[in-house]
Structures are given as C-alpha cells and as structure tokens.
Structure 1
C-alpha cells in the first residue's frame, strides 16, 4: 500500500508547476548546497543596474515578490556581475501584446544591450506584431533558432525558462521543453548567423563572458525566481 501511495504522490508532484514545491524567490537547502545564487530575492533589485549606468531605473521595481517593468522607458537592465559558464533559471510573464527578452553574454561595448548578446525571446505570441517569424516567438534564440509550439503559453501565464551555457554549448528549455541545443561558434551556429539579421553585426556572440540582461521593449513584463549557478 505504501508503495502505491508513493507512486501516486510522485505522479502528482511531477505534474505540479515548476518551483511550486519551494517558495518563490528562495533557494532550497539542496540548491544552496549546489551553489545556486538568487539574482532576485523578491524584495530588492540590488544585483541589477541599467545598461551603461551605475544605477537602476525606478520603472524597474520589486512589487509583491515580482520584478516588474511597470512601463516602457525603464531601459534594458543587466546583472552587476558577469558570467562565463552557468545554469540560469527564471520565470516570466508578459503583458497582452507584449515583447521582452532575456540576454546572455551581454556586454556594454556596443550601443545597445543586444549589440553582442544572445537573446532568448519573451513574447505574446498571439498578439504581438513580431509573431510572423518562428524564430521570433517565445523561447527562441531571436532570429536564429525557433522554439517548438508545445513550449508556448499565452500572455498572462507564467513561463519557466532554463538556460545552460557550458564551454559554448548553449541549451535552453521553456516550460519543460528543450528549445535550443547548439554550440556557439560551431558550424551550424555560423550557418544560422549568416542567414540572420546578425550576419554583419561585428562582435555578435563573440564574448566568452558577459552579463545576464532583461529587455525593456516598451511593454510591461514580470520576472521572478531568478537564480543562477556558476559552473
């Protein structure tokens, strides 16, 4: 009987939304032991600053345990710290017809945060005008690799993203589905870049280290449970 009950419990737990077993914006004891670090604790944004600035725009706020871009004009933001190889997890929720993004390997050498960074797209796939190209939908590497439709959720729903980067091997999951598995700088990567908007962007995705960034695309967006483990 105990074995049957345990099997039922396991099925129930597997079906629970990602992160429900732990409180929002907190690390479990196991995560602490593994070396995970919170990039947002639900109360302040002290680990973030605005792109090319020392401070942080007041339009990015901590509200009820969520990191909120309250309105456009707050500008793109990035972590104060840079990372090389890492495992990043976070949750996002986009407003109706909204657009945002998650950047990795971001630097401040170009005019924009996206000048050299790789972007994992955040989008209302149903309503935003930039929904005509598959590689522009949520969970995609913007303009390079399209995410599968089964990884998509509607605006207003929470989405779980994991980004794993180790020795230039980039993997991305959205809502439990793998959307990206590629070697940055490899043959396939080169082919994709050559056929994208980035083909003539000097320095694009060339950095070995960089900041984690979040995009202000003019629309309200919300993040939580942002945590990272350096590898």
Structure 2
C-alpha cells in the first residue's frame, strides 16, 4: 500500500498569527507584528529588518535607553527555535518569563536568559563558562562550545516545560544545557547566582519572550515557537 504523503499546513488563528504545523511564526523576515519594545506599544528604529533578518543596531545619538524587544503574547510551556549571529565582541540574549509590571525596568529583571556572546572577544566569556554563548546565564554552563565563527549563523532551540519541571538548550544540533524549572533545584541555582536578591527574577511561569538590547549589534531570523 502506498503511504499517504503528509503536507505542511499553514493557517491564520484568531489573532491573524501565522501557524505552520503547530509552529507559531514569531518572525518570518517581513513582519514585526508579534513584537514590541518592553513596556511600550511600538518598536524604535533600533530594530530593523535587513533581508530576511531582524537586526538590532545600537543607536548612536541618544542617552542609554533600553530597547529590549518582547512578544505581544505570553507563553508558559514551549519550544522556541531561532537563528542568531552576533557582532565581534558582542553580547545579547534570549529571555522567557518576562513580566511588564510597572516596577520592572527591563526584561532582564524577571526573565531568565540564554546567552548570546562572542566567546572569544567579549569579557563576559572570561568570567566563567556559565556566561558564554548558550549558557543559562550565570547558572548553567554549556557542556561544550559549539558556536560558529563570528559572522556565521547559529541555530538555537530553547525548551521550557514547567509541567515536567525541566528546560534545555540545543545549539547547532547539540544539546549543550539542561536545567530544572520551578522546583527546589531551580531555587538553589538562583540562590547562588547574581540574581539571588532580585525581586521577581524567574518568578513568572507565564511571561513574554524577549530579545536583548545589550548595546551590541545582533541578528535574528527564523523565529518560531510551539506551545507544549
């Protein structure tokens, strides 16, 4: 018997979001409709689309203002996948569980971060491996450095599953980080990190996905998410 060939299915949900085979497209190279800057309703010129990539270009003529980008929608349990590349000596990151409560000034205050970094030239890489690319920042180090050379794309998949109380990072096809979530092990990790005394850090099981403004140029593309 000839097997029935499965085909890709694309639909628009009630919010006109693009969904392909259960993957919600957060950025497809043409639209930023799923995004805004932290605690605003718009996006500044610091974020722009070049070709099929979303690019953060640090503004030159302004006093420092945070331009963290966050999703309009909140997520709880998910698999997030994207491509990134970082500028020479650059630093950025991907957050989840971000709260936009009035008392918080940046996404960084509440959202745990998976690090994006030039491991060879950024000073953070010298502080410890738990601050290198792919790390759960300041808490869990990658098992190995599998980053591509500067100027090349890296593919990263972040899984956050509070139901199973675990998360992971796959970088360039290799699972390099796994970590506990929402349990005593998680609390112990936070207690020995720089975030130990941060009000609200990691407290929001449901929150927004964020892309970090760290004053360095960074590129993203092919951003999609599947809810678990």
Normalising by structure 1, report the TM-score.
0.83
Aligned residues: 204
CA gap 1:51/1:145 in 2 versus in 1, 3 angstroms = same
Partner residue, 2:196: 199
Q: Secondary structure at the match of 1:81?
A: strand
Q: As a proportion of its length, which structure holds more helix?
A: 1
Gaps of at least 5 residues in structure 1 are 1-27
Q: Distance in 2 between matches of 1:74 and 1:154?
A: 28
Gaps of at least 5 residues in structure 2 are 1-6, 11-18, 60-64
* Cα RMSD, aligned residues only: 1.7
Residue 30 of structure 1 deviates from its aligned partner by: 6.3
1:128 aligns with 2:115: no
Q: Distance in 1 between matches of 2:20 and 2:133?
A: 32
1:166 aligns with 2:161: yes
Structure 1 segments of 4 or more deviating over 3 A?
30-34
Partner residue, 1:49: 36
1:115 aligns with 2:94: no
Identify which of 144, 147, 158 aligns with 1:149.
144
Normalising by structure 2, report the TM-score.
0.84
Q: Secondary structure at the match of 1:178?
A: strand
Q: Distance in 2 between matches of 1:152 and 1:191?
A: 28
Residue 182 of structure 1 deviates from its aligned partner by: 2.1
Deviations 1:119-138 (A, max 9, x none): 00000000011111110000
Partner residue, 1:140: 135
Identify which of 166, 182, 186 aligns with 1:185.
182
Q: Distance in 1 between matches of 2:107 and 2:66?
A: 13
Contact 1:184 1:205 in 2 (8 A): no
